[in-house]
Amino acid sequence: MRYDFVCPSPTHYPFQWFWDSAFHAIALLQVDPELSKQELRCLVQGAQPDGYIAHMLLWERRGNPEWLKPEACIRLDHPFFTGTIQPPVIARALERIYDATGDLGFVREILPPVLRFVHWLERVRDADRDGLVTIIQPDESGLDASPKYDAAMGIPSHPPEATLPAWRRSMHRLFDAYAGKSHEEQATLGVFAFEDVMMNVIYADALRALARLVGLAGMPGADDLERASDRTHDALMQKSWDPKRGLFWDLSGSREERVTVLTFTSLFPLVLPDLDADVAKRLVDEHLLNEREFWLPYPVPSVAASEASFDPAWLTKTTWRGPTWINVNWYLYWGLRQHGFADVASELARRTVAMQAIGGIREFYDPRTAAGEGATNFAWSCLVLDLIAAEEPTLTRA
């Protein structure tokens, strides 16, 4: 096969990752839309006949043997792809490429594998048919070692050095449980099952984007996709919304127990266009703009500053435990704008750009100082290009 894509980080992440490539495609619109198309074309070469698309495609696998060692913690389905999924950001990327180029031919080319993937999610990962899809290992949300998964993974929050080895051991226990089982069987084992709010918001957003694109492409099924999106939105309101705290919580296990560890995920339904205005206002006023939780000098931290597990300086040497990530800010920026919080969105964009000016193009940043952390030359951090383009009139005036 021919391949041509952007590595998340040439030094740290040499393969093609599913949600990374979707973010890359959006950032590349500010460079050359043809590169955006190429990124998605390369990605969907990984689509399998049953609809499944893996979270990693191991192009150039032979040159990167360290990724096949146990400490890399990846579970393969095939020599060249993993047995793990990631959030379907690809639908939003396809919508953005259409909005930028008007190229319906490209939409028609990429829609079929993306539709098959969301149908796969619905068929295989919504076993209880409640409209919420389930992840079966923590890195399927893309939020690998987020402390919201600690209890389910048996990870102690102290001392910080214990986190990464405990996470690796726990991942391998999951891999042993899934070994030799089909995707369908893995999904019903219940060894780890999270109806993750961020994953489901991105799923609902994908269904909405696909409904629109299917309609534009003159293909059938737009109404069903729209209904499925609404259903996921309603399920999030019914099961994850906590009116007392004014937040959304992930649901763990078959008993759907709320996991009340405060991470940016709890605010993520701001991305839903039809979110109730009072709910959106509470998320923003009580939490996003709360300086004890999320409104730090360089927001939005992946974990609220009020949590004991908050690790802004990356002492745990593992991901999603406090630092600020630019893909999160990018999603929340557009969510804030659509709910009438344009000023908050602009301030978030301003601080995000300032953070990158200080910290460089890194994987994540210390929310107190903007120091760059993790991988270098991290590609989705170039989503700042999209924020700058959206804010251009304001920036130019300033």
Q: At what angle do helices 18-28 and 90-101 cross, to 10 degrees?
A: 20
Q: At what angle do helices 33-44 and 90-101 cross, to 10 degrees?
A: 150
Q: Lay out the site mask for ligand GLC across 264-303 (x = CB under 6 A, - = otherwise).
A: ----------------------------------------
140: contact with ligand GLC by CB under 6 A: no
**Tokens standing for 79?**
């020599």
Under 8 Å between Cβ of 6 and 380: no
20: contact with ligand GLC by CB under 6 A: yes
Number of residues forming the site for ligand GLC (CB under 6 A): 8
Judged by CB, which is closer to ligand GLC: 252, or 319? 319
Judged by CB, which is closer to ligand GLC: 13, or 264? 13
Least spacing, CB of residue 317 vs ligand GLC, in Å: 13
Question: CA distances (Å), 377 to each of 72, 110, 299, in order?
Answer: 20, 28, 20
138: contact with ligand GLC by CB under 6 A: no
Q: Lay out the site mask for ligand GLC across 231-250 (x = CB under 6 A, - = otherwise).
A: --------------------
Judged by CB, which is closer to ligand GLC: 145, or 371? 145
DSSP lists the bridge partners of residue 242 as: 247
Under 8 Å between Cβ of 247 and 267: yes
Which of 46, 142, 323, 367 contacts ligand GLC by CB under 6 A? 142
Under 8 Å between Cβ of 44 and 114: yes
Q: How far apart are CA 308 and CA 313, in angstroms?
A: 14
Judged by CB, which is closer to ligand GLC: 82, or 229? 82
**Four-residue CA torsion sign, 114, 132, 263, 322:** negative
Q: How far apart are CA 294 and CA 324, in angstroms?
A: 10
8: contact with ligand GLC by CB under 6 A: yes
59: contact with ligand GLC by CB under 6 A: no
319: contact with ligand GLC by CB under 6 A: yes
- Point out which span in 17-25, 43-51, 109-117, 240-248 binds ligand GLC (CB under 6 A): 17-25
13: contact with ligand GLC by CB under 6 A: yes
Using alpha carbons only, what angle is made at residue 237 by residues 235 and 242, rounded to the nearest 5 degrees?
A: 130
DSSP lists the bridge partners of residue 248 as: 241
The contact set with ligand GLC (CB under 6 A) reads 8, 13, 17, 19-20, 142, 144, 319
